[in-house]
Amino acid sequence: MKRLEIDYSLNSMDVLVSLARYNFVNKIIQDKNLKVLDYGCGSGYGTKVLLEMFPNVTSHDTYFDDYSPAGITVETDIEKIKKQQYDLVTCFEVIEHMEEAAQNVLMDNLAGLLNKDGVLFISTVRKMVPPPTQNRKDYHTREVTFEELYAFCSKHFKTVLTFGQIDQIISTFNKDNHYHFVFVCTNKK
């Protein structure tokens, strides 16, 4: 029997945490016929996970980094994305990279991209002062609190279900002891 050898790094933990959000979508939403948008997809790694469940997934990122897993095409033109409506939109770890005015525009765009029965999955890190890592200091323009994210979502959706995430576990929670927030928004206003 060969033993499992793991070369652990903080980056590998970040990968598992990120993938857990996409797996959460795949477990919660069972209709494989939905038209899906992975908004702010980065390299498209999460799109690859979504494609395991949904055959119709579009990837979008404005700041695409020119790396893409095989079979993933990332659309960088938001105007092309806006010409369509989606049943399901994911937007993971995007909002904290923007100023407040852009965060408002983001939420308007996300709501506008969904059809009337659409579902939005959105996540962000829990705001910590001061930011605990150099990466967060350098790249997180404006982190939001639980209450701020809830207000953004409630402006556009009648139903906002809130979850927390620690490592790969996403569950109901006490908002003060989770590292990420994952909200599921439905019933567009």
Looking at residue 177, its pLDDT comes to 83
Looking at residue 40, its pLDDT comes to 94
Looking at residue 22, its pLDDT comes to 97
Whether 3 maps to a domain, the answer reads: no
Whether 33 maps to a domain, the answer reads: yes
Please report, for residues 12, 89, 96, 102, 125, the alpha-carbon distance to residue 148 in angstroms, rounded to integers and kept in the order given.
29, 20, 11, 14, 12
Looking at residue 6, its pLDDT comes to 59
Looking at residue 176, its pLDDT comes to 84
Whether 1 maps to a domain, the answer reads: no
Domains in the chain: how many in total? 1
Whether 76 maps to a domain, the answer reads: yes
Nearest to 168 by CA among 15, 60, 1, 3: 15
Residues of the chain with pLDDT under 70: 1-11, 64-68
Whether 101 maps to a domain, the answer reads: yes
Looking at residue 117, its pLDDT comes to 96
Whether 77 maps to a domain, the answer reads: yes
Please report, for residues 8, 89, 160, the alpha-carbon distance to residue 181 in angstroms, rounded to integers and kept in the order given.
25, 16, 12
Whether 52 maps to a domain, the answer reads: yes
163: number of Cβ within 10 Å = 20
Whether 5 maps to a domain, the answer reads: no
Torsion of CA 87, 90, 95, 100, to 10 degrees: 0
Looking at residue 132, its pLDDT comes to 85
Q: The domain containing residue 135 runs over which residues?
A: 10-188
Looking at residue 1, its pLDDT comes to 54
For residue 39, what is the domain's CATH number? Answer: 3.40.50.150
Residue 54 CA to residue 56 CA, distance in Å, equals 6
